[in-house]
Amino acid sequence: MSVMYIRGGRPLEGELAVHGAKNSVLPILAACLLAKGPVTLNNCPRLTDVAAALGILRRLGCRVEQEGHTIVVDPTGASGCSISEEQMRSMRSSIIFLGPLLARAGEAHLSYPGGCELGPRPIDLHLSALRAMGCEVREEQGIHCLGRPKGGEVQLSIPSVGATENAMLCAVGASGPTTITNAAREPEIGDLQSFLNSLGAGVRGAGSSTITVEGGRCLSGGEYTVMGDRIVAATLLSAAASAGGTVRLRGVDWRHLATVLSVFHQAGCRVESKLEYVELFRDGSVPLRGAPTVRTAPYPGFPTDAQAPVMAALAASQGCTLFVETIFDSRYRHVPELIRMGADITTEGRVALVRGVERLHGARVEATDLRGGGALAAAALGAEGTTVLSGLNHIDRGYEGLEEMLRLLGADVERREA
Ligand code: EPZ
């Protein structure tokens, strides 16, 4: 098991291109099941969640090659319609294979994806979307779906990202048209729509609450470049706000980060947003200010995935910041770890009150989930002394070489066997 040694106190300086988005490449990989020929994907991040998705595609009979940040998926040999329990457990978002599998094979058998560190992760909206498209869905010791989708009206009671994506992917393979209302508006939905249309699909409306999908189209093979990861960007900007210095990031659209940038601006950082890059400067000799309430919400609201990293940066500030986590039940598991570093944070259900302290100090801390891990690394960079961060398996799910990225920005970080 490896751990990260992070020596705090150095400002960050530098520029880097943010790697491809985990939450875009995963549904796009599942969508490859709908193609009638090989698909080449560029800017794919090298993450353990991506490796898990490639394993599922291989088990379904696809030929998969990965070289650097390029993945080629040839689904022409795909014949399976089941995903094993072990594979479903390997990655929470493996449920995203349900819709395309059903559209392609006319049947799909999966076990429940299981909860995760953020609390229960229900899939009722995914299943009701498939039923709305005319598929039979039985839940007996797992999920058993039968019947090719015909299309229909999908009404989501929550703008669920995964359920929106599953409905889109099933609808692309349906014989008739589908309308999805109260759809999630996250940028990754737009990337999925662009990908599907590049293969010949007819999807419209991504980014709005209503998405329409023409049915009955055959998707060709093709080539596509995955968008940059806005949450990795938010994490790196949180590291700069925590440690001080100047960090410039390329490969992300600053508009996808506007709510995060606004919090850092109000906390006293200077933010520059251009088409080609986003840059954050913070004078380490001037304390951050507490920010107005940070309430997570579906896009275009403040992203729940940025809550932990931003909280980590504001833990050392002058003033208080109130956080309200409206998306997940249990997304404050990084708080006890930040308190071990000297933070003063009180949580009550979905509310967390951060009373800024002058400075955090290094400690032995453990990542409890993906974004909590990114948060602890950001906090450590601004802390006094050395932090030993374990639980890197969580971090490697969504950050490709976090320690290399931080070293490129001047941080004193190394990964060692524990
Ligand atoms: C996606 O998860 C992301 N994962 C998450 O990122 C992200 O936090 C989340 O969207 C919200 O933005 C991927 O894209 C792979 P949801 P997803 O369905 O689709 C409830 C990260 O760190 N719900 O939008 O699972 C659910 O319990 C990860 O990169 C139902 O009740 O999230 C939650 O409270 C973490 N029934 C809310 O909706 C359902 O059928 C939003 O979840 C589905 C969801």
Does residue 114 carry a pLDDT above 80?
A: no
> Residue 148: its pLDDT value, please?
95
- DSSP H or E run through 320: strand 320-324
Of the candidates 288, 304, 308, the residue with the CA atom closest to the CA atom of residue 374: 308
371 CA: nearest ligand 1 atom: 22
Distance CA(205)–CA(190), nearest Å, equals 8
Q: How confident is the model at residue 120 (pLDDT cuts 50, 70, 90)?
A: confident
Cβ neighbours for 80, distance < 8 A, ≥ 6 positions apart: 59, 60, 61, 105
- What's the average model confidence in pLDDT over 258-262? 98
- What's the average model confidence in pLDDT over 370-390? 98
- pLDDT per residue over 95-110, tens digit each? 999 999 999 999 999 9
> Residue 306: its pLDDT value, please?
98
Distance CA(308)–CA(71), nearest Å, equals 30
Pocket test of ligand 1: the residue of 97, 158, 238 to mutate, having most ligand atoms within 8 Å of its CB, is 158
Tell me the CA–centroid distance for residue 148 and ligand 1, in Å.
26
Instruction: Please say whether the dihedral angle defined by the alpha carbons of residues 205, 206, 209 and 213, taken in this order, is positive or negative.
Output: positive
In the block, which residue shows the tokens 């380490």?
284
Distance CA(9)–CA(284), nearest Å, equals 9
In the block, which residue shows the tokens 């050395």?
386
Q: What share of the chain is helix, strand, coil (3-state, %, to 5)?
A: 35, 30, 35
- 49 to 21, 169, 220: CA distances (angstroms): 11, 19, 26
Q: Do residues 398 and 234 make contact, with C-beta atoms less than 8 angstroms apart?
A: no
**Residue 116 annotated as catalytic:** yes
Pocket of ligand 1 (CB under 6 A): 22-23, 26, 93, 121-126, 158, 160-163, 184, 304-305, 327-328, 370-371, 398
Instruction: Please say whether the dihedral angle defined by the alpha carbons of residues 281, 289, 404 and 400, taken in this order, is positive or negative.
Output: negative
116 CA: nearest ligand 1 atom: 35
Distance CA(375)–CA(50), nearest Å, equals 21
123 CA: nearest ligand 1 atom: 40
Does residue 117 carry a pLDDT above 80?
A: no
Tell me the CA–centroid distance for residue 331 and ligand 1, in Å.
12
Q: How confident is the model at residue 113 (pLDDT cuts 50, 70, 90)?
A: confident
- What's the average model confidence in pLDDT over 338-350? 98
Q: How confident is the model at residue 78 (pLDDT cuts 50, 70, 90)?
A: very high
- Smallest CA separation from ligand 1 atom 31, residue: 122
Sequential DSSP letters for 367-410? --SHHHHHHHHHHHHHSBSEEEEE-HHHHTTT-TTHHHHHHHTT
- How buried is 220 (Cβ within 10 angstroms: 0-12 exposed, 13-18 middle, 19+ buried)? middle
> Residue 112: its pLDDT value, please?
84
Strands 39-42 vs 222-225: parallel, antiparallel or unpaired: parallel
- What's the average model confidence in pLDDT over 146-153? 97
Three-class DSSP category at 160: coil
Give the number of C-alpha atoms closer than 13 A to the C-alpha of residue 106, restricted to the C-beta side: 3
Q: How confident is the model at residue 115 (pLDDT cuts 50, 70, 90)?
A: low
